Amino acid sequence: MQDKLLSIAIDGPVSAGKSTLSDAVANHLGILHLDTGAMYRAVGLCALRKGIPPEDEQRVVDMCLNGHARVDVDYVNQSQRTLLNGQDVSEDIRTEEVGFAASTVSRYPDVRKYLVERQREIAGKTSILMDGRDIGTVVLPNAPVKIFLTASPQARAKRRYQQLLRQGREADFDKVLVDLIARDKQDAGRKADPLRQAEDAVLLDTSDMDFESSMRAILDVVEARYGKQQ
């Protein structure tokens, strides 16, 4: 346990390895990891389940503001579980369809406001590593450590493709690449809090780095700010 609270913001595009690396780094440091993308995915899933088209801003916003898409997180052995209206949807949110729905509903300022409030509540008074698209710019603008994690579209598509194969799912590399570029465009091109690197964030391009060296690079940035953690 640290005496001082740690606050670490990691942002970056789809499949940059944010979730896996964030999990490993947070585990190493003994602090919580909040995957904020999972929360947008839960809202996207909720819309799909209710038959609300993710493109229908008014209905998606009403769904959130009327309490029909309650998003919570729980931690089991330090690992995040994402709850939608009290039900654990941690696995159900990991499909491509839900990823796109999440990207679409994340364009709406009222949805963002709703989830950012939840994210700040969860961060509360605990050491936390948050990953997403707007953590360093909006959610935790005062975080002492900000990292913008990226890699080339080809490197990210390759990782995503291999991950799908490992999960026993069908995958076509060219489709994975096209989908990834489309999602990048939607996330970086939206008006509300688009994906962008905070001015004071350290840029880490992991295109040619393996998992261990990426993790070491993140820990180097953390240790430069907070000193070596026990």
Region of 66-74, 99-107, 159-167, 211-219 interacting with ligand DC (CB under 6 A): 99-107
What are the backbone angles phi and psi of residue 208, rounded to the nearest 5°?
-110, 25
Decide whether 138 or 209 has the Cβ nearer to ligand DC: 138
Contact flag: residue 102 with ligand DC (CB under 6 A): yes
Tell me if 40 contacts ligand DC by CB under 6 A. yes
Question: Can you spell out the DSSP letters for 69-135?
Answer: S-EEEEEETTEEEEEETTEE-TTGGGSHHHHHHHHHHTT-HHHHHHHHHHHHHHHTTS-EEEEESSI
Nearer CB in complex with ligand DC: 99/153: 99
Interface with ligand DC (CB under 6 A), residue total 14
Is 103 a binding residue for ligand DC by CB under 6 A? The answer is yes
Cα 192 to Cα 176: distance, rounded to the nearest angstrom: 26
* Site for ligand DC, residues 125 to 164, rule: CB under 6 A: 132-134
Q: Is 54 a binder of ligand DC (CB under 6 A)?
A: no
DSSP 2: -
Q: Does 41 bind ligand DC (CB under 6 A)?
A: yes
Q: Which two tokens stand for residue 159?
A: 């990782």
Eight-state DSSP code of residue 22: H
Tokens of 62: 């009403």
What's the token pair of residue 184? Answer: 């990048």
Q: C-beta of 99: minimal distance to ligand DC in Å?
A: 6
- Site residues, ligand DC (CB under 6 A): 14, 36-37, 40-41, 99, 102-103, 106, 132-134, 183, 187
